[in-house]
Amino acid sequence: MSSIAERLKSVRGEMSREEFARIIGVHVNTVGRYERGESEPDISITSKICREFDVNPHWLILGEGKYGIDSDHSGIPHFYETHGRGYRQYTSIGDDSMLLEIIVAYVLQENGLEMSKKQISAIANLYYEEMHNRIMAIAVKIKELDAD
């Protein structure tokens, strides 16, 4: 399948557009536009499709790899590794890594760069670490400013 429109049709399968739209939280006409290739789902809708239908984000966005999600958790962010099971109460095990990997894959595709799933996972993890450090530095500065 060469286009995201075709892959979305495949995900929906025999399900009605109405039901598919309800599950992913969009209007039925939006699903039609996606399937005709007139528009593409944004990152939050793409993530929801992958989560709700157990779809590999690399397959959905890029047409690479297998349709389904592997049980390989090599792309799980460092946060999960350090916080273990406590993290599960906030989101499913793969949501954060999946979302970051979708973003990384999309940016790479837009810029004509091809990378393996492991490389994309590594970039997503590095991005997570960098953003974590920046957020913490900003939070400390804000607390200092508020204390004055």
pLDDT in tens, 86-124: 433 333 435 566 778 888 888 888 888 888 888 888 888
Helix (H, G, I), strand (E, B) or coil at 53: helix
Q: What is the mean pLDDT of residues 16-41?
A: 95
Q: What phi-psi label fits residue 25: left (phi over 0), alpha (psi between -120 and 50 degrees) or beta?
A: left
Residues 29-58 have pLDDT tens digits of 999 999 999 999 988 898 889 888 888 888
**Tokens at 145, concatenated:** 């400013």
Q: pLDDT at residue 23 above 90?
A: yes
> Could you tell me where the DSSP H helices lie in 89-116?
95-110
98 vs 69: CA distance, rounded Å? 10
pLDDT over 70 at 135, yes or no: yes
Calpha distance 139→103 (Å, rounded): 24
Q: What is the pLDDT of residue 107?
A: 85
Determine the pLDDT at residue 18: 96
pLDDT tens digits for 4-14?
Answer: 999 999 999 99
Which H/E stretch holds residue 146?
A: helix 117-147
> What is the pLDDT, as a whole number, of residue 86?
41
